[in-house]
Amino acid sequence: MFDQRSVMEAERETWPAVWKGWRRKCPNCGSGPLLKGYLSVRDSCPVCKQELFHHRADDGPAYLTILIVGHIMAPLLHIVFVQFRPEPLVLFTIFAIGCVALSLYLLPRLKGAMIGFQWSRYMHGFAKPG
């Protein structure tokens, strides 16, 4: 027996929505910009009018960014130190710039992906009324 909610949930595929969010596009149409500026989420999509203010990304994107950057850079730091033993200031400069650059790259994309995930699963206010 089908209820209305399971039919609606089948309409939104998760990974295409996450991918659209990663590209910082609206998870519904994939062409409207999701963010204004670096991290601010638009209230609604300028193309398809999908309401976007329902998202509850909160600290999730920052958590994922730290998780990923840490798991890439910490082993890399170990390998570079053991294999090449560069000057301390050179090592610090390379990894400081690398960590900041990777974090700035990942943060808005992970935020978009998280919003796309929430949208696809009808989480928070993304659920249709009724």
b/e for 36-49, b at 16 or more Cβ within 10 A? Answer: eeeeebbeebeeee
- Distance, in Å, from the CA atom of 25 to the CA atom of 118, rounded to the nearest integer, reads 14
Q: Does residue 24 bind Zn ion (CB under 5 A)?
A: no
- Whole-number minimum distance, CB 36 to Zn ion, in Å? 14
Separation of alpha carbons 81 and 78, rounded Å: 5
Applying CB under 5 A, which part among 26-34, 60-68, 88-96, 105-113 lies near Zn ion?
26-34
Question: Is 29 a residue that touches Zn ion (CB under 5 A)?
Answer: yes
120 binds Zn ion (CB under 5 A): no
Pick from 50, 65, 118, 120: which binds Zn ion (CB under 5 A)? 50
Our finding on whether 52 is near Zn ion (CB under 5 A) is no
Q: Which is nearer to Zn ion, 30 or 69 (CB)?
A: 30
Candidates 44-52, 56-64, 81-89, 94-102: pick the segment binding Zn ion (CB under 5 A): 44-52
Tokens of 127: 């659920």
Alpha-carbon gap, residue 90 to 13, rounded angstroms: 46
| Residue 90 engages Zn ion in binding (rule: CB under 5 A) | no
- CB half-sphere exposure, 76, CA atoms < 13 A: 13
Reported residue count of the chain is 130
Q: Which residues bind Zn ion (CB under 5 A)?
A: 26, 28-29, 32, 45, 47-48, 50
